[in-house]
Amino acid sequence: MARPHDQISDDPSFAHRRRSLLRDCSGAAAVEFAIVGTAFIALLMATLHLMMIYLAQQMLETAAESASRLFLTGYAQTSILSNGHVGMDSADFKNAICNGASGITASGNVFTTDPLLPPMLKCSRLTVNVSRASAYSASAADRPTFTYDSSGNIVSTGTGYNYAAAGAGQNQIVAVQLIYLWPTGTGALGSSLINEPNNNRMLTATSVFTTEDYSCAAGQSTC
């Protein structure tokens, strides 16, 4: 007497369905994606996290190069600005980078500059460092040191604004440095590029150059 399960096993329709089930791969893609999808998305997010930092660094480099031309040509040192200042002080120079500037050059020509900092970067996170050196061998601008209070606010920086020379200022060796605190954090796969408090990364762009020949504006003893 045949047992019930023997009858089922000998049923041709059952054998056909079993073979069809073994050949059915319609859900394989979903299973494979469930296995590797999480890792792929994490890798993609980590790549985007790193890409944004490199993009911000490149934007800062471009801004530093453009800002340096204001010193290279003597505009920053000798122009009569729309606010009445003769020569840019530290606040004027940073404002020119963030918002543009206008005024009259030492030769009497009207000038206007566009903002140099891309909209992606905020002026409130920017620190400007300008220094003068006697020789290129002594003009290295190291990564500045920021000091923070207990609340995480910056209380001092290793930066300054010094460019004046005795008499006319042509042929000076000047270093312009833009420092930006880029807000970041721990990315996917545990990637972390934080090197400052408050989940920030310090980005630094430096340009060192020799100024062109120019004359001080009327009333300036040094420029």
Would residue 213 be called left, alpha or beta, if left means φ above 0 and alpha means ψ between -120 and 50 degrees? beta
- pLDDT score at 142: 75
pLDDT single digits (tens) 36-56: 777 778 778 878 888 999 999
- For the chain, which ranges sit under pLDDT 70? 1-33, 138-141, 164-168, 187-191
pLDDT of residue 139: 56
Amino acid at 206: T
Look at residue 8 in the predicted model and tell me its pLDDT.
47
The C-alpha atoms of residue 146 and residue 67 are separated, in whole angstroms, by 22
pLDDT of residue 119: 94
Cβ–Cβ < 8 Å for 91, 100: no
Determine the length of the chain.
223
pLDDT recorded at residue 196: 93
